[in-house]
């Protein structure tokens, strides 16, 4: 059996599948039509790091909703385990999980490259950000030992939606970039005439490094 890990690439259509979740049957990405969504895997139910992640996701759920973004978790635990774990979180941590959790038979995990050689049979901490057209926009992998930064995922959704709307590029650590602050980057020109035009129109460090303020809504 090959140990090669395969998964869809950024910019491709997200694979279609149907799965059992804590909220019933779910068709992905069909049931998220017109919305962004984050599919994230966790190694196992009833584990400390995963529990902290689910609470963190849940407490920011309304922020994701404001960004037209849904959440869906996944692990290869059975649905009965998911249900019991969600009940445990509600009873002990006073958090009622507002998003579905997929009970995977390893099929989805294998398709999306969530099971890595040398890390056991559990899924790694994978994150797939998918836009409202069903296109995969970002993939992140975290080691099993380290919980995810949920605020960074919110930042990514905000940034990607601005990229689509304004046709710009986002600097490092946006909106707190060390050079540009909250300003965004104008895509570089591809010919001399456009370079001269952009350098005259936008603030810049050079013709290939133009930037601007985002318009206030």
> Is 110 found in the same domain as 100?
yes
pLDDT digits (tens), the chain, 217 positions: 345 556 789 999 999 999 999 999 999 999 999 999 999 999 999 999 999 999 999 999 999 999 999 999 999 999 999 999 999 999 999 999 999 999 999 999 989 988 876 666 778 899 999 999 999 999 999 988 999 999 999 999 999 999 999 999 999 999 999 999 999 999 999 999 999 999 999 999 999 999 999 987 6
**51 domain residue, yes or no:** yes
Flag whether 119 is in a domain: yes
Q: Which two tokens stand for residue 54?
A: 């689910």
Domain that holds residue 61: 17-165
* Same domain flag for 187 and 138: no
- The verdict on 76 and 137 lying in the same domain is yes
Give the Cα separation of 174 and 120 in Å (integer): 36
Return the CATH number at 32. Answer: 3.40.30.10
The enclosing domain of 198 has a CATH number of 3.30.1020.10
Write the DSSP assignment of 34-89 as a string of letters.
Answer: TSEEEEEE-S-SS-HHHHHHHHHHHHTHHHHHHTTEEEEEEESS-HHHHHHHHHHH
Residues 106, 152 within the same domain: yes
Nearest alpha carbon to residue 64 among 177, 152, 163? 152
Residue 2 forms part of a structural domain: no
| Confidence at residue 2, expressed as pLDDT on a 0 to 100 scale | 47
Q: What are phi and psi of 41, to 5 degrees?
A: -105, 150
Together in a domain, 24 and 123 = yes
65 and 105 part of one domain: yes
Which residues participate in catalysis according to the annotation?
50
For residue 186, which phi and psi values (nearest 5 degrees)? -85, 130
Tell me what pLDDT residue 114 has. Answer: 85
Please indicate, yes or no, whether residues 77 and 95 belong to a single structural domain of this protein.
yes
pLDDT of residue 149: 97
Residues 128 and 23 occupy one common structural domain = yes
Same domain for 190 and 159: no
CB 212 within 8 A of CB 202: yes
User: How many folded domains does the chain comprise?
Assistant: 2
**Same-domain status, 125 and 197:** no
For tokens 């385990």, what's the residue? Answer: 81
Does a structural domain hold residue 10? no
Q: What is the pTM of this model?
A: 0.92
Q: Are residues 97 and 171 in the same domain?
A: no
Report if residue 116 sits inside a domain: yes
Whether residue 108 is found in the same domain as residue 156: yes
């Amino acid at each position: 059996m090959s140990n090669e890990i395969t998964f869809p690439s950024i910019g491709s259509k997200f694979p279609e599948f149907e799965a059992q979740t804590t909220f019933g049957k779910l068709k992905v990405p069909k049931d998220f039509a017109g919305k962004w969504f984050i599919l994230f895997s966790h190694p196992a139910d009833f584990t400390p790091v995963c529990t902290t992640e689910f609470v963190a996701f849940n407490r920011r759920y309304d922020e994701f909703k404001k960004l037209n973004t849904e959440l869906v978790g996944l692990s290869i635990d059975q649905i009965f385990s998911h249900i019991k774990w969600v009940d445990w979180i509600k009873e002990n941590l006073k958090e009622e999980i507002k998003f579905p959790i997929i009970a995977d038979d390893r099929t989805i995990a294998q398709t999306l490259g969530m099971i890595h050689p040398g890390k056991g049979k559990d899924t790694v901490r994978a994150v797939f950000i998918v836009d409202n057209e069903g296109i995969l926009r970002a993939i992140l992998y975290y080691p099993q030992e380290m919980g995810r930064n949920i605020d960074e995922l919110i930042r990514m959704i905000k940034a990607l939606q601005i990229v689509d709307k304004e046709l710009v590029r986002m600097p490092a650590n946006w909106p707190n970039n060390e050079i540009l602050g909250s300003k965004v980057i104008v895509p570089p020109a591809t010919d001399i005439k456009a370079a001269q035009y952009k350098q005259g129109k936008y603030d810049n460090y050079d013709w290939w490094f133009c930037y601007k303020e985002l318009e206030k809504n």
